Amino acid sequence: VWRSKDGLHWICVQRKAMFPQRQKHATIEFQGKLWVLGGEIAGNESDRGLDCYNSTDGIHWSKVKLNRDIPHRFNHRLVLFKGKLWLIGGVSVCDYRKDIWYTSDGRNWHEATNEADFNWNSTSEAFTFNEKLTVLTTSGRDGAEACETWVSPDGVSWTRISQATLS
């Protein structure tokens, strides 16, 4: 685990975190803690529940027991929206996930929807903009790249506000 005050000069604060080495996970600051959720874990390709860890200092980590068995995923996004932490999309062992989850404490998760209107893929992005959850998706079609922007006021109902094809 590395830390920087200015983004230019970095120091290693923890050579080996207590959680398994991973890639394509999501990390975010929420309620004064650093949270790590999911990802591809080295040597473990199984489709099991989503694992979650948090830390107040990046050195000491705690495994967080979630109240729900959220399907494992990688290439997902974590977003802060209306005081809650939102988990959007991702890729599981077999398919792209279109479910959306939220929590107000990091432990107790609620499913907003299990089938969002947009098509999530590994290059999709999610963020908050103009007081709405926003998702950007791309997909290749006949040598062209189709890009869409979707917004939601609540994580449940989604509206496509733009669509473009780049060739």
pLDDT for 106 beyond 80: yes
pLDDT for 47 beyond 80: no
pLDDT for 140 beyond 80: no
CA–CA distance from 163 to each of 68, 115, 129, 131, 167 (Å)?
35, 20, 17, 21, 13
Q: What is the band of 79 on the pLDDT scale with cuts at 50, 70, 90?
A: very high
What's the mean pLDDT in 21-49? 84
Instruction: Compute CA 163 distance to the chain's CA centroid, rounded to the nearest angstrom.
Output: 23
